[in-house]
Chain A
Amino acid sequence: MKLAVYWGAACGGCCVSVLDVHEKLFTVVEHADLVFWPIALDIKYKDVEAMPDGSIDVTLFNGAVRNSENEHIAKLLRKKTKILVAYGSCAHLGGIPGLANFSTKEDIFRRVYEESESTINPEKVKPQPKFHVPEGELEIPEFYNDVRALNQVVEVDYYLPGCPPQTERLVEVFLAIVTGAELPPKGSVVGALAKSQCDECKRKRTENKLVKEFKRPVDVIDDGETCFLEQGIICMGPATRGGCGVRCIEGNAPCRGCYGPPPDVPDPGAKMLSAVATMIDANTPEEVEKIVATIDDPAGTFYRFSLPGSILRRKVIV
């Protein structure tokens, strides 16, 4: 079996989660030839281009699609691969890089190449995709205006969510593929549960979720056992798939939503917005506004990992 791992717009954490199989890596290597993995192997793009179409059995594509290089390799690997897996939150729904969809390419370039405190660039030089030097023409990838999830660029066979995905889930999925177990229908989310985080959460909860104020975790002395939401701390649990083993909550931090929405939820942020809003303990517009004002950044909080994969996809361009 031939296996490839690639990173698009990613932090490297997904590749590390693959390395985290530790000694099980030997089991993996026993069954699989690693034919392409930029973080670990020196294989060039032209080597991948030379491979016959459909010759790679499984590709774990992590990272979002942010520039023309990411897009080129996504399309290339799609052609060369039988089973293309969107691995991790960024490939799944856009992830943290997807938060750049609150800005435009112009905003980002202005900030980075003109305004940032450590930048000295009086001529306002900006990266150009092509540049002539005496030796010839230099080319760098084109930075796109929008961040996209993998399935907005190519067809994806499976999604393995998480930031990063839990390594145990990867091993399970991988073993299912090599042992020839019956695979779920194409387009399925694998390595995660159909139920929400709350179903797995061991914290105590009551029916009364009404709060007068939302607080940042730093403003609350957490008792370690009461539902975060009931303490007024925004926890993405209700709008997030289980499967990670409620790791953040077990570590006394609220869920941030990296596993994406449960099945049949078209827009994770809207679902969370709906859930949080009904907790507001007020019945007049003025009081409701006052409590809403205690949620600093609803868009960034509810869509932390999913803006490109959401209904609106990005901030409106006027």
Chain B
Amino acid sequence: MSYKPKIVAFLCNWCSYTGADLAGTSRMKYAPNIRIIRVMCSGRVEPTFVLKSFREGADGVMILGCHPGDCHYHEGNYKCLRRYHLLKKFLLQMGLEEERLRLEWISASEGKQFAELVDEFTSQITALGPCKVKETVETIL
């Protein structure tokens, strides 16, 4: 049986979730590995959410928000950007590949870009193979 990665994606309500919706209503096809969680803003995505995703068995995590300057709350996506870079540095120290976490901007009209991004990220994570966080924690007595 070929490996099917589990991907958790946090999508902001105003741009990216609507973009994903557009991909759906336009009947675009994309990889089914993604589990979408709608949040009000990419700035709402706490690092805890990402860590918890990996702990529960996610192989990759995506955070999608509005393009810079377009945030419904003015600067939520900038806060997300700052957290993302620090979080990546932390994940590297914890022995994870930094490619397992991805931040991208998807607007409400970018259904096509969304579908392509999901396909591309899914194949990237497939190439990386399973994430070992859950397994590691389970080896602890």
> From B55, which residue of chain A is reached at the shortest CB distance?
A311
A286-305 Cβ-contact flags toward B at 8 Å (1 or 0) = 00110010010111101000
Q: Which residues A141-169 have CB closer than 8 A to chain B? A: 144-146, 148, 152
Number of chain A residues close to chain B: CB under 8 A: 39
Which of the residues B78, B93, B132, B135 comes within 8 Å of A299, measured between beta carbons?
Answer: B93
A283 touches B94 (CB 8 A): no
A312 at the interface (CB under 8 A from B): yes
- 0/1 interface trace, chain A 258-288, chain B, CB 8 Å (1 if under): 0000000011011101101110101101001
Cβ contact within 8 Å between A148 and B141: yes
Contacting residues, chain A, for B68 (C-beta < 8 A): 283
Which residues of the partner chain B approach A295 to less than 8 Å between Cβ atoms?
A: 86, 89
Known: A280-B82, A283-B68. A311 touches B52 (CB 8 A): yes
Other-chain residue from A270, A283, A314, A318 in contact with B46 (beta carbon distance below 8 A):
A270
When C-beta atoms are compared, the residue in chain A nearest to B96 turns out to be A316
Q: How far is the CA of A280 from the CA of B85 in the complex (A)?
A: 10
Assign chain B's interface to a size class: 20 to 34
CA distance A217 to B68 in the complex (A): 34
**A313 in the interface (beta carbon within 8 A):** yes
Shortest C-beta distance, A292 to chain B (Å), equals 5
With A270-B48, A298-B90 known to touch, is A278 a contact of B83 (CB < 8 Å)? yes
B51 and A312 within 8 A (CB): yes
Q: Contact flags (1/0) for A86-108 with B, using CB distance below 8 Å?
A: 00000000000000001000000
Residue in A273, A282, A314 whose CB lies within 8 Å of B90:
A273
Q: Are A292 and B47 in contact (CB under 8 A)?
A: no
